[in-house]
Amino acid sequence: MSNPPSDPAPSNEFATIIKKRLYHSLSETGDAFRLLAETIFQIFRPPLQFNLLMKQLLLIGFNSLSVVLVSGFFTGMVLGIQGYVQLKPYAVEGSVAKFVSVSVVKELGPMITAFVLSGRIGASITAELSTMKVTEQIDALEVMGTNPVKHLVVPRFLACSIMLPTLTIFSTFAGIFGGYVAVVSLFGFNGDFYILQVQKYLYVGSVLISLIKATSFGMAIAAIGCYKGFSISTAGGAEGVGTATTGSAVISLVTILVLDFVLNHILFNILGLV
Amino acid sequence: MISVKNVRKAFDEKIVLNGFDLEIPRGESLVIMGRSGCGKSVLLKIIAGLLSVDAGEVWIDGTEITQLKRKPLNQIRRKIGMLFQSAALFDSMSVAENIAFMLDQHTDLTEQEMRKVVDEKLNLVDLDGVQDLRPAQLSGGMRKRVGLARALAFNPEIILYDEPTTGLDPVTCTEINELIRDLNQQLQVTSVVVTHDMHSAFSVGTLMVMLHEGKQIAYGKPEDLINEENPILQQFILFGAPDQILNIDNPTLKEFTGRQTE
C-alpha cells in the first residue's frame, strides 16, 4: 500500500511567510541606513542648531548620569567579588585590580552605559518621534519647510554620539571604584596596591578602544531610536507608538551586542590592539 | 492657481485616487467632500507635497511640484499654510513658539518682531493671552485656532484645512466656520477645505468638489451642486446639509427626502 501524497501547501505557506519577513527586514534595514546616510549628510550641512543640540546633550547626559554611575559602581563591585573569589584558589588574587580595570575599561564600561541608554534614551527618542508622527507634527514641520531629519534626528544623533563616550568615562571610573570598595571592604585587600595596579594596567589604547566602542553604540542607539520613531505609520495610533518603542529597545540591545562582537574582532583581531 | 491632473495614488493594493482632476482658481474657497476614507486628506497632503503621487501632476502657481526636490519644494511650501486635523501643535513649545516657528526658521526677525507677528496672528483668530500656554493647556477649539494662527504666520497665499471642525462642539464648529470665511474675505487667499461636515462645507465653500471611489464625481458652486441630479452627491448632501439648503427645489433631492420621511 502506497503512502498518501503529502500536501505541499503548509511548507509553501511557511516559505512565503519567511520570504515576506526576510523582504520586510531587508527593506527596513535599507530604510534605516538611508536615514543614517541622510543624517550624516545633514550634520555637515549648515546651519547646525546649537540650541537643539544643547537641549539634547542635557537631556541625554545630565539626566542619565546618576543611573549610569550606579550601574557602573555595582558592576565593578560584582566584578571585584567574582574576580577575587575566582583568583584566590590560584593565589593570584593580587591581579583582581587588573581584572576589574581591564574588564570595565574595555568591555563593561561602554556596554553597561549603552544598555542603560538604549532603555532610557533610545526608547524615549522612539516614543517622542512616533508620537509626533501620529499627531502629524512631523508633517507640520515638513509643510513649514523644515527638514525633520535636520531638526529632530541630527541633534539626537550628535548628542548620543557625544554623551555615550562621556558617560562611559564616568561609568568606567564608577566601576573601578566599585571594585575597590568591594575588595577592600569585603576581603581586606590593600587599597594602595589596588590603585597602583589600576594605574599600571590602564593603557591609553584601552581607553581609546572604550571610547570608540561607546561612540559606535551611541550612534547605533540614536539611529535605531530615530528610525523606529519615523517608520511608524500616521494611522498607527497609541498601539503603534508602544510597539515601536518596545521594538526600538529590543533592536538596540541586540545591535549593541552584535556591534560589540564586530568591534572586538576588528580592534583586537584585525588591528591587533591590546 | 492649483491644478491637479490625472493623479493616481494607491497604498499597497488599495487605490485611493484613480485619475483625479481638479482646478482651484486663485482666491476661491474650495471644499473637498467625500465619505470617510475616500482619499480627501490624501489629496490635501499631495497638494502640500507631503505625499508623492504614483502618476499625474500637481501644479501650484505654474510650478509642477510632484518631481521637485526638497529645496525648491520648500520655496513653494512657503506660500502654503496648513491646518491639520489634530492641529499638530508642537507639544514641547509654547503657543507663541509654535506660531513663530516658521519665522524663526526662515527669517532674521528679532524676538520682538516675532512677538508682534504672534500677537497679530492670534488677534486674527480671536485669541489673546494664550501666548505662554502649552498646547496641552488648550481646549480643542483653541488648539484649532492656534493651528490656524501658525498656518497664517508666514502670510500664505494658499491655506489648506484638513477637517477643521472634526471633534468640536456645534458652537465651536460654527465659530471656526465663521473664522475661515472671515479670513478668506480679509486675506484674499485660496483655501482648500477637506470636510464631510455639510454645515461647514456650505458655510465656507465658494466651490465644491465631490470625491468618490478615487474620482471627481461633481464640481461646481454650492448652488449648482444642490441642483445636480447625481444620487451619490444628493445622498451625501441630504444626510448632512442645513435645512435651508434642503428646501431648494431639486427632484433628486426631493426623492431622497421623500424616502427619508416615509
Å between B88 CA and nearest CA of chain A: 5
Is residue B260 scored above 50 in pLDDT?
Answer: no
How many domains does chain A divide into? Answer: 1
Query: How is residue B39 annotated by DSSP?
Result: S
Is residue B259 scored above 60 in pLDDT?
Answer: no
Domain assignment of residue B257, yes or no: no
Domain assignment of residue A89, yes or no: yes
CB proximity under 8 Å: A 140-179 to B? 140, 142-147
Question: Could you read off the pLDDT of B63-87 as tens digits, one per residue?
Answer: 999 999 988 999 999 999 999 988 9
- Closest C-alpha to A157, from A224, A236, A88: A224
Domain assignment of residue B243, yes or no: no
- The pLDDT, as a whole number, for residue A194 is 94
State how far the Cα of A74 lies from the Cα of A177, in Å rounded to an integer. 9
State how far the Cα of A104 lies from the Cα of A102, in Å rounded to an integer. 6
Domain assignment of residue B240, yes or no: no
State how far the Cα of B259 lies from the Cα of A241, in Å rounded to an integer. 46
B4 neighbors B43 (Cβ within 8 angstroms): yes
Residues B99 and B55 in one domain: no
pTM for the structure as a whole: 0.85
What number of helices (H) and strands (E) belong to chain A?
12, 0
Say which CATH number the domain at B163 has: 3.40.50.300
Q: How many CA atoms lie within 13 A of A181 on its CB side?
A: 13
B184 neighbors B104 (Cβ within 8 angstroms): no
Q: What is the pLDDT along chain A (274 residues), one digit of tens a residue?
A: 455 555 556 778 888 888 888 888 898 889 999 999 999 999 998 888 889 999 999 999 888 999 999 999 999 999 999 999 999 999 888 899 999 999 999 999 999 999 999 988 999 999 999 999 999 999 999 999 999 999 999 999 999 999 999 999 999 999 999 999 999 999 999 999 999 999 998 888 889 999 999 999 999 999 999 999 999 887 778 888 999 999 999 999 999 999 999 999 998 888 877 6
Residues of A within 8 A of B91 (CB-CB) are 131-132, 135, 137
Residues B6 and B71 in one domain: yes
Domain assignment of residue A231, yes or no: yes
Residues of A within 8 A of B154 (CB-CB) are 144
B37: its cell numbers: 476614507
The shortest CB-CB distance from A143 to any of B50, B70, B105 is to: B50
Domain assignment of residue A8, yes or no: no
Domain assignment of residue A7, yes or no: no
- The pLDDT, as a whole number, for residue B254 is 55
How sure is the predictor about B110, in pLDDT bands with cuts at 50, 70 and 90? very high
State how far the Cα of A108 lies from the Cα of A80, in Å rounded to an integer. 13
Residues B54 and B181 in one domain: yes
A5: its cell numbers: 501524497
State how far the Cα of A183 lies from the Cα of A178, in Å rounded to an integer. 9
Domain range spanning residue B123?
93-155
Residues B18 and B143 in one domain: no
- The pLDDT, as a whole number, for residue B247 is 60
Q: b/e string for B224-240 if b means 16 or more Cβ within 10 A?
A: ebbebeeeebbebbbeb
SS3 A154: helix
- The pLDDT, as a whole number, for residue A159 is 96
* Cell 452627491 belongs to residue: B233
SS3 B165: coil
Domain assignment of residue A211, yes or no: yes
State how far the Cα of A240 lies from the Cα of B105, in Å rounded to an integer. 30
State how far the Cα of B39 lies from the Cα of B24, in Å rounded to an integer. 17
- The residues of B whose Cβ lies within 8 A of any Cβ of A are 45, 48-50, 70, 74-75, 77-78, 80-82, 84-86, 88-91, 101-102, 105-106, 154
Q: Is it true that the peptide bond before A47 is cis, omega within 30 degrees of 0?
A: yes
How many domains does chain B divide into? Answer: 2
* Cell 571610547 belongs to residue: A211
Instruction: Give me the residues paired with residue B24 across strands.
Output: B2
- The pLDDT, as a whole number, for residue A186 is 93
The shortest CB-CB distance from B105 to any of A131, A135, A146 is to: A146
A134 neighbors A241 (Cβ within 8 angstroms): yes
State how far the Cα of A101 lies from the Cα of A168, in Å rounded to an integer. 13
Residues B120 and B53 in one domain: no
Q: Does B85 sit within 8 Å of A136, measured CB to CB? A: yes
A109 neighbors A172 (Cβ within 8 angstroms): yes
State how far the Cα of A215 lies from the Cα of A114, in Å rounded to an integer. 10
Instruction: Give me the residues paired with residue B8 across strands.
Output: B18, B55
Residues B11 and B123 in one domain: no
- The pLDDT, as a whole number, for residue B262 is 38
- Closest C-alpha to A235, from A135, A128, A126: A135
Residues B27 and B61 in one domain: yes
The residue-averaged pLDDT of B46-52 equals: 94
* Cell 496641552 belongs to residue: B136
Q: Does A139 sit within 8 Å of B84, measured CB to CB? A: yes
Q: Give me the interface pTM, i.e. the ipTM.
A: 0.86
Residues B61 and B171 in one domain: yes
Angle (nearest 5°) at CA B29 between B26 and B32: 115
Integer angstrom CA distances of residue B67 from A113, A198, B16, B46: 45, 61, 20, 12
Distance of CA B69 to the CA centre of its chain: 24
* Cell 567574582 belongs to residue: A82
Instruction: Give me the residues paired with residue B11 across strands.
Output: B14
Residues B69 and B180 in one domain: yes
Domain assignment of residue B246, yes or no: no
Residues B163 and B149 in one domain: no
Domain range spanning residue A232?
15-270
A187: its cell numbers: 576581603
Domain assignment of residue A83, yes or no: yes
Cβ count near A30 (within 10 Å): 10
Contacts of A268 (CB under 8 A, 6+ apart): A274
Mutate to test the interface with A, among B11, B69, B77, B160 (most CBs of A within 10 A): B77
Residues B175 and B64 in one domain: yes
Domain assignment of residue A59, yes or no: yes
Mutate to test the interface with A, among B11, B78, B91 (most CBs of A within 10 A): B91
Domain assignment of residue B145, yes or no: yes
| Higher pLDDT, residue B255 or A262 | A262
Residues of B within 8 A of A147 (CB-CB) are 70
Angle (nearest 5°) at CA B135 between B131 and B140: 110
SS3 B255: helix
Residues B66 and B126 in one domain: no
Contacts of B145 (CB under 8 A, 6+ apart): B125, B126, B127, B176, B179
| Higher pLDDT, residue B248 or B27 | B27
Radius of gyration of chain B (CA): 19
B81 neighbors B193 (Cβ within 8 angstroms): no
